[in-house]
Structure formats: C-alpha cells, structure tokens
Copies of this chain bind each other. A is one copy, B any other.
C-alpha cells in the first residue's frame, strides 16, 4: 500500500503537462467561472426560498455538480498558485451554499426550487447524492487548499443529514444514488477528518447497491422488484417509464461484489469502482478488491479504446459488448477517462501493479488532453477515433460535466507522478518535474523531454544518505529499457521487471543520478481480431502517445484513401512550432487515386495509388487547427 505524492509536492516542468496546467490556471478556470455565472448555475442557489417558477428557469438537477467540480478545480489551483479572485469566488460559493442550506442540513438548488417535499424520492435518476458528492469533494479540496472550513462546514452538516436519512430511516435504508459519486467523496471526507461515520456510509452505499430484488408478499405474482422499482412506485410512477432501462446502466444489476464485467454508463462505473477500491484499501475487504480487479481486467481486455476511451455508445454513454469498439461513433467521454485515472490510481496504490499506471499514462497523454483545446477554451464531450470532419469542440455543454472535470484533473495532475511507502519511492510517470518526498527527506528532479524522448534523468537530493528502494515504472509499451546509476549501467538481469517496475535498493546519497532509457521506436499496433472496426487497420504509437491522421496534414477529408506501408521505416520528427510542440510522424503510405474513374462507381480494376508520406500527429492535440476528418486506425 503506497500513498501518492500530493500534487502540491510535484512541480511539473515538462513540455506536455506544464503548459496545459498554466492554460488551465490562467484561462480555463477563470473562463469557466464566467460561464457558470452567465448560465445561472451559481445564482441558482440565491433564488432558493424566493423562487417563482414563472420568473426563473428551474436549475437543472446536474447544475450543483458543475459548480462543485469547478470549485474543486479552483481550490487545487490556488493551492499551488494563489489567486485572490478565485479564493474570493470560493468563499462566495461557500457563503451562498451556507445561506441556502436548510435548517436540517439539506442543500440542492434543483429540489429547493421545484419543492423540497420531493427530495430523496428519486435517487435513481435525480443525481441528488451525485451533486452532494461533488460538493463534498470541493469542500475537502477547499479545506486542504485554504485551511478554511466555511464550505466544509456546510457539507459536513449536509452529510449528517444524508446519513441520518439513509442509514437512520426504514424508508431509505436500502437507497443509493443512481449516479455513483458520493461514495468516493465520503472516503475523502473520512481521510480528512478520520470520522468513521463517513467511511461506513460509503461502505453502506456499496453494500446495498444491486441487492434490491425482494419478493413482495402482497404482490399477487410475487413479482421481484428492484429497489428502484419500489422507489418509483412510491412516487406513484411506473418503473417501466423511466429512462434508464436496465439496472446495469448504473451498475445496480447485481451486488457489487458479484459483478464480473464493466457494464453500463462508463462514468458511473469508474466512479463506483474508485470508491470500491478505496474501501478495499481502507477496510481490507478482499471481496471488494477481487471485484475491482476482475472488472478492471475485463474492461482493459475487451472494452477499452486504444486511446484510452471508455464507453462506446451514446445511447447509454457507456459500454456495449465485448470487442464492440466502433471508431467514428465512439463515445469515449472525457469524464470516463478522468474517472478511470482515479480508479487506476487507487488500484496502483493497493497492488503496486504497473498495469494501472499504464492506464493512467494512456489517459493523461491521449484521451483526456484530446478533450480540451490547447488554448483551454473548447471541449469535446465525446472523443471518437475517427471523424468525417463534423466532430468539433464546443464552448460549453448543457450537460457540462466534462469541462470542470478536466479543470480539476489538470490542476491536480501532480498526484499521478509518484508515490511512496515505507520501503521507498515509486515513480509512475516521467514528465519532467520536481518532487518532494518529505518522509524520505528527498528531493527528486526528473528531467528530459518525455513523452517525446524516452531518456529520463532522475537526480536525488537528500538531507542525509539513506537506504530505500527507488522503483521505476517500465511501461508495457516499452521493450529494451536501460537503467544506470551514476553513469554505471545496471545489467537487466540484475534488475528484473516485476509487476511493471524495476526497483533499485541501495544507500542513496545526495546528487545521485539515475538514468532511465525507454526506447521509443514508432509502433504499428494491431487490434485483437475480435474487434471488427479495426480489421485490416493499424494504429501508430510512439512511447505513450497514440497518433492520428488529420485532414489538414494529408489528403483532405478522404483519409480512407490512405493505406500505410507499415513495414517501411517511419520517421519521428519533433517540431516545437507544431501544436504546442509535438513529435509528428512521417509515414510511408499509398493513397488511392480518385481520378481516372470517370462515372464508374465500381470496376474490376483497383484504383491506382500514389506513393506518399502521410503525417500523423498526436491524438491528444487533434482538432486544434481547422476542423476536418481524423482517423486513428488506418488501413495497412
């Protein structure tokens, strides 16, 4: 069991994350605050109490979570880079919530607007505890960043209300939210204040989830009803009418410990398993850990895009069938990748297995950064792996979960670089950075130009010489890594890779330097033959970076005319002027000529092909020039 080094102790200095953090701080977070105001999401709380439905629109049931995620992002941001305007904005939000909070602790702009008598009657769909969970995360982050407990006080009172209503009542004793989130938030509150009540409530939510089919004696057919059906009937509604058509949509089709596959709405699933992993770590419940490992392995082996994208279908914003990974209409919501990072980090800290860090790296260098423009102002909600040119980033969304989610992740990116335990330090990511590990009296300086260059230098500064294990992740994509200490190569045989890491145990002294080389040839990646969408195609990767073709670099929107010649050498060229500074690939290819066909739509002779070099750019930065077609998987 290791603990992540907190982002406040990890100063990113690389060319990939650090500029994004700066843009996030200087552009994204302020501009999102403006939008939250403009769209009424913050003032929504102020209308509570003197609300006239005829005068005001009803705050959407998701709105509080948008404000919450933004507040969490702002708290992280001022934790590392103080900013009075953001500090004040957070205080304003705290004060607004405090003003709006009911005497019994309840606070929710939607229900307080439409009528609090309706509260807690539709946990299945109303996102009530989801909003509460996000607000709670914000409160914890705010307390940690500022030491203030103005927001935390509100949320702790709200959580007392929730726990009293849930575990303290017969009516709601088996209730749980249709959108998991509060569980992981309660764990964070427990970690902050040590009050077991929060941990127990989180565990309760996971324990009762999906348990709820019980024979009702008074029902003639002894019909088995799901908890959510009973909740709907109690409201006087027909369960068949509600939009989430299967319990699997919200991972409530079976008790959590019995789940074997990743199913349903992707964000719900990864948020839930984040909490499940937290609980496994904190309670030692091996049945929870086993479920999390099982479902994780299923997700990675059968339902994850090569870019990290999770969730195929728009219909359920989630998973469909094994190996069903269509490219052009991939959903791959940005939020699902962010949640996967949370889950992976918990699993990594429990198991020490590098496969979880591989996932974090995949998400952070590919699907997640693709979700926001380089200038920090425009967003993708869905991240398809191919586009005819019609998929373009938006300024905002009615359902605006992704933008503030990216903001809070970017503001706390340092969390994922390294961890520590009693035996030593584990380095998971190789972005150039300055890391402080107080427990080991260590300053660790990571340098190099990762992810564009695989040569990494780690310089240790120690208060005193000290024996500990320095573990370095060897990514699954890497073959032929090399390690040297103070210029002396350690033969691979002496340094076996175990669970994705090499561990150097020695007496470390200040100014020791470890050099790690992770060779980065361009790789042509093939999908499992069960994946129909990728048959006959390859994806290009170099290091952790997944590439794509964009129309503007190549033949225009008809990228399907390109066929790679993957047995020929592909050159990687770093270009500091391109898309914020990226390594692009120059790939020998053929392009089917579309001239010479006259009016023929079909003919017995194939098209003539031109020999060309196509340009591939990182998927992470696509759609940052003119809109156009894009493809990750290319014919080969």
Contact = CB atoms under 8 A, between A and B. Distances in A.
Interface string A512-541: 000000000001111111111001100100
B635 A602 contact: no
Interface stretch (A68-76, A191-199, A412-420, A556-564): A556-564
A635 B592 contact: no
B599 A301 contact: yes
A529 B594 contact: yes
Nearest to A298: B599
A607 interface: yes
A525 B300 contact: no
A526 B601 contact: no
A539 B635 contact: no
Contact of A601 (B523, B531, B536): B531
Contacts of A301: 599-601
Nearest to A529: B592
A480 interface: no
A604 B523 contact: yes
Contacts of A300: 599, 601
A282 B536 CA distance: 53
Which bucket holds chain A's interface residue count? Answer: 35 or more
A600 B528 contact: yes
A601 B308 CA distance: 12
Nearest to A531: B601
Contacts of A528: 594, 597, 600-603, 607
Contacts of A531: 601
Number of copies: 2
A302 interface: yes
A602 B526 CA distance: 6
Contact of A535 (B523, B524, B529, B592): B592
Nearest to A539: B602
B607 A526 contact: yes
Interface in A582-636: 592-594, 597, 599-607, 635
Contact of A536 (B306, B603, B635): B635
Contacts of A529: 558, 560-561, 592-594, 597, 607
Nearest to A635: B536
A393 B603 CA distance: 30
Given A297-B599, A300-B599, A599-B300, A604 B525 contact: yes
A525 B602 CA distance: 6
B602 A306 contact: yes
Nearest to A629: B532
Interface in A282-328: 297, 300-302, 304, 306, 323
9 contacts: A300-B599, A301-B600, A523-B604, A528-B594, A528-B600, A528-B601, A528-B602, A529-B592, A536-B635
| Complex A-B, nearest 7 residue pairs according to Cβ-Cβ distance, in ascending order | A529-B592, A301-B599, A535-B560, A532-B560, A529-B594, A529-B607, A536-B635
Given A301-B600, A306-B602, A528-B597, 6 more contacts: A525-B604, A528-B601, A530-B558, A532-B560, A535-B592, A539-B602
